[in-house]
Amino acid sequence: MNWLRYTVHALTRAPLRPSLAVLAVALAVALFCAVSAVDRGLDLMLATGARSDVLVVFDRFQSCPPLSKLPEAHRGALEGMEGVRDVTAELFVISSCSRVTDLVAVYGIEPGKVRSFRDIDLPESEFAAFSSERGAALVGRRAATRYGWKVGQTVSLERLGGLTFTVRGIFTSKTEGLESAILVDLAYLQIATSQPGKVTLCHVRLADPENGGALAVAIDRHFANSKSPTRTASERAFMDAAVSSIAGLVEFTSLLGYGALGLVVAGVGNSLSMSIRDRTREIAILKTLGFRRPQVLRLMLSEAFICGAAGGAIGVAAAWVLIRATHFELSVEGFSFAPALSPSLLLEAMILSVVLATAAGLPAALRVARLRVVEALREVD
């Protein structure tokens, strides 16, 4: 028998309390992983989703971009402005504008321009099939996986008033969130959703990327006295604004993550100190046999270590399964992103769990390692 077996026996032959500790650790680690993944997903969206040479033109009076409505005629006016190289219009239809998890986002786009404004990647033949057919759709890889859609399949979305399309291609994208979207022809979407002549926004590619600020001001001034005034900013600025609107939520969730780690410390610390109190006699016996402080300390800490490792492994696995299986997704004012659960995050959570659990066990373990045999024996008698 070696040290580890002693510890394993101590944990498995009196499993109630250690199981509770492991469960608490697992729960906390899962929570930590989920919260950190959301945080990192958001960062990823900011890093990949925003381009600086493109301005976005929205309805001035809608703070929520998907509710923005501009006349399609704005596109022509924008094309005529100085400093503008290219313009495209898009219409978004989203099941909700609030922070929902399972959203369906349909983008009405101009097939001839979409590839120069949006980062999408798919076989040329699929794109050709899409461009030549009204009522065709390109579906993001994530959306296709989530709903089990195949190329050639005809889909009707009840939640969007029975919008019907045929999947002609499945694309991948490095832009966070876009892979969850469905792209259809702008005109088709306008008619299908009874919004003829309406668009959500226009993308404006700058002739000179350095000139974004001035052009944005010029655009808004140009439309200021029209029926549909605009609000123009770089894509990055819009995204930052959207994200800052949920800054409180993000802060709260990261607090939640740290709170969860606090739970590890409290859970293991409490469990170990109770288990040690129950085992005062056992430890007095070990000391009588000649076990010294460091040896007792090692025995007790290895229990905390194992609780941390087991709980960490379960928690990490649970978070992984949960996030992968549910294709969990979040949307902030029309920008959607998935939690980024990378192997490095899982490893980090695992290490944190083990380190924190061991540290949490330290005070109780130290106390018991210092215990004087004679006192301990008298205490129990």
Ligand X SMILES: Nc1ncnc2c1ncn2[C@@H]1O[C@H](COP(=O)(O)OP(=O)(O)OP(=O)(O)O)[C@@H](O)[C@H]1O
Which residues of this chain interact with ligand X, rule CB under 6 A?
Answer: 374, 378
Residue 90 or 303 having the CB closest to another protein: 303
Rounded Cα distance between 281 and 375, Å, is 10
Residue 312 CB, nearest distance to another protein (Å)? 23
Rounded Cα distance between 315 and 357, Å, is 13
Answer for which of 76, 102, 374, 379 binds another protein (CB under 8 A) is 374
Residue 321 or 374 having the CB closest to ligand X: 374
Answer for which of 9, 85, 174, 221 binds another protein (CB under 8 A) is 9
**Residue 325 contacts another protein per CB under 8 A:** no
Residue 283 or 341 having the CB closest to another protein: 283
Residue 324 or 378 having the CB closest to ligand X: 378
111: number of CA atoms within 13 Å, CB side?
21
Residue 277 or 378 having the CB closest to ligand X: 378
Q: DSSP E strands: which ranges in the chain?
A: 54-59, 70-71, 84-94, 105-109, 136-140, 154-157, 163-171, 181-185, 198-199, 201-206, 230-234, 330-332, 335-337
Q: Which residues contact 343 (CB under 8 A, 6 or more apart)?
A: none
Q: Using the rule CB under 8 A, give the single segment among 92-100, 240-248, 282-290, 339-347 that binds another protein.
A: 282-290
Q: Are 32 and 261 in contact (CB under 8 A)?
A: yes
Residue 158 or 381 having the CB closest to ligand X: 381
**Residue 240 contacts another protein per CB under 8 A:** no
Cβ density class 135-152: b for 16+ within 10 Å, e for less: ebbbbbbbbbebeebebe
8, two tokens: 């394993």
**Residue 289 contacts another protein per CB under 8 A:** yes
The H or E element spanning position 74 is helix 73-79
121, two tokens: 């990647």
Q: Are 58 and 230 in contact (CB under 8 A)?
A: yes
**Residue 194 contacts another protein per CB under 8 A:** no
Residue 307 CB, nearest distance to another protein (Å)? 15
Rounded Cα distance between 162 and 146, Å, is 19
Rg for the chain (alpha carbons), in Å? 29
Residue 227 binds which of ligand X, another protein, none (CB < 5-8 A, kind-dependent): none
**Residue 319 contacts another protein per CB under 8 A:** no
Q: Using the rule CB under 8 A, give the single segment among 210-218, 227-235, 281-289, 322-330 that binds another protein.
A: 281-289
Residue 220 or 282 having the CB closest to another protein: 282
Q: Using the rule CB under 8 A, give the single segment among 238-246, 262-270, 283-291, 324-332 that binds another protein.
A: 283-291
Residue 379 CB, nearest distance to ligand X (Å)? 10
Cβ density class 321-343: b for 16+ within 10 Å, e for less: ebbeeeebbbbbbbbbbbbbbee
What is the DSSP track for 113-171? THHHHS--B--HHHHHHHHT-TTEEEEEHHHHHHHT--TT-EEEEGGGTTEEEEEEEEE
Residue 114 or 376 having the CB closest to ligand X: 376
Residue 375 CB, nearest distance to ligand X (Å)? 6
Q: Are 329 and 45 in contact (CB under 8 A)?
A: no
Using CB under 8 A as the binding criterion, the count of chain residues that bind another protein stands at 23
**Residue 16 contacts another protein per CB under 8 A:** no
In angstroms, how far is CA 276 from the centroid of its own chain? 40
Answer for which of 148, 152, 290, 343 binds another protein (CB under 8 A) is 290
Residue 281 binds which of ligand X, another protein, none (CB < 5-8 A, kind-dependent): another protein
Q: Which residue has the tokens 């129990």?
A: 380
Residue 3 or 258 having the CB closest to another protein: 3
Answer for which of 4, 14, 217, 255 binds another protein (CB under 8 A) is 14
Pairing of β 84-94 and β 163-171: unpaired
Q: Which residues bind another protein (CB under 8 A)?
A: 1-3, 6, 9-10, 13-14, 281-282, 285-292, 295, 373-374, 377, 380
